[in-house]
Structure 1
């Protein structure tokens, strides 16, 4: 039996919908304006066959061009964006044409950046094919690429016209990839929606089974949180910062590991670090810190990181986009679903929290 499609609206100056369901890629073509003539599908090499099938489904009405890019963070480079611009230029893309980001969070990030910058902006549709992409990267209009100095330092805010989260595209992903995506799901639970944590604790195997109702529930709850927050704060000047819980240290870990770690795994360590930081400042009870560790451990996500790398991590955090001048800022919790900003903590406190996650 076909399950109904869930529509989650994203408001703001450029509203759009996130569609969640199964076997719903056909909705892409149905959503396009009649003025569209050409479509660029940006996809990683690992999704070549699926991208070709998506192209075939659209060929009866549109000219569809494929742009294959490196997988994961290797695709988020200026050279990759330039390749996509070259493909669009050689194919005479105009402002009425469309870019589709088809892949994980890194792919949707770079596809969004390409769409935002080609002719100063063309229509963008995001089709995330990983859990991380569905609950986080494809929603909210953050687009960007990495540089040698850090992650996501170059980019723009550019809203898609539609996000299609087809849960069937998750079939074939390794369980490790699914679990890594749960780093962002758990984050949503701690900052805003405790039901997510309850569902995971009630049965981690069921919650992480992409075919289960529980899995769909936590995905839709996570998307709903992201949609509400970005509707209120599109350009990351207020409450949207709360979505960065665990990301300040998490991004630093990714940088230290030369982007070879999965994002969700790095964020897991970052959340435990933020929880320890909140505990050391007297904000957070020990039981909530312990709950971080127990939930993340049940998901086989890391909760510690090697000691001896503090200088590298600190330097990377000082380039974090939430920093203001030389002052570091961290998202921490006063309690579950009560996030706040900790501004300018003493470096001795930061190092003490690092020792709590160090091994």
Structure 2
């Protein structure tokens, strides 16, 4: 299968979770014998922070604007499938171009589904509009559960399918060594996540001055009052993630408001941390129990006291191993690549059947 992917970024993991998701997925997709071309808009904030300029599992090319994208018309026209990702600059115009030119299956891969739906509800069509959704053969969604029915019933998608993030198990595994922190958090600053970070990490740090904490990720405002026992790391490249999790007794998962409201939206950080056998403390949302079993594979926390109690637990190792076992069985990139292949083949078959029916 030859596919073309137009995504936010493959070359740079700075300030986004898309790059690691695409890297793991396309690497595993290539291992299944497929060929991928990734087209990335050349923008300065990623150009200056590239940590994968020449991948060995796909072809990576850059385009400067929509006019420049047109030079890839032959590749898009001849591909078996073309996938457009969320947050692609001028994504609606890109969708129109792809849907007009592509000769194979077309798909939208939404790594931000709840955020996308919230934007659509308020008339914000930054990278997706209601008009283009029915013209994609399949809508691949970061979010499962009831959202899939909403995409089909309300927005007219012919096929909405869950395609959760995944983990490259070769890159994320326990590395051993000393535990440097009692609780860690890895994530770019987000205003709607910050109150939960305050409640589940910063306030526990203030209450436990002898414990060690760390927050890694860019764009945190300078005015945040970090306790003395909270270490700050401005940016952590994917190559350092496994060591980061392996050095953490526990790690924290914090979910954006739109994703909590939708439920069934596991972050890639959940799978990456679990693959490293690091026990996870997470905020609570509908569907999380379908990903990990609470108190056996994950610890759920609603407030400061819950985090403090989690840090004091003596069964951390068993929880981490149980989560790792679950992820390796259900959420590796190899498994997800197989799901992607199946969704694309099913969409192609459905489209062919529809064309034959219309012709008859």
TM-score, normalised with respect to structure 2: 0.27
Q: Which has the larger radius of gyration?
A: 2
Q: Which one has a larger percent helix, Structure 1 or Structure 2?
A: 1
TM-score, normalised with respect to structure 1: 0.27
Higher relative contact order (CA 8 A, sep 6+): 2
